[in-house]
Amino acid sequence: MSTYLHDGIVFDLNVPHLDVTGVEWRWIGVRTETGEPLMQAMPDSSTPIPLPDVYAMHGPLIPAPRPTTAAMYRRVLEAS
């Protein structure tokens, strides 16, 4: 798992993040010279922007919802 700490928040770079307007941002697997992850708006394919800049201009960022897996359903049903 790739993570990045910014302003006391740990970002899981393996999942897409949504900004306040609902735009999805994804890490492109590259970091700047100073170690900041480069993010790209999807499906816009705009110029990559460092995560701290995305956070400052479009934040806060939240992890995008993930689909519910069969294993998750099974755990809930077995716990009932």
Domains: count for the chain? 1
> Which letter does DSSP use for residue 54 in this model?
H
pLDDT tens string for the chain (80 positions)? Answer: 699 999 999 999 999 999 999 999 999 999 999 999 999 998 876 789 999 999 999 989 999 998 888 988 888 898 86
Q: Which domain holds residue 25?
A: 3-78
Pairwise CA distance, residues 74 & 16, whole Å: 25
This prediction's pTM? 0.78
Burial-class residue 39 by CB neighbours within 10 Å (0-12, 13-18, 19+): buried
Among residues 56, 48, 53, 4, the alpha carbon closest in space to that of 26 is found at 48
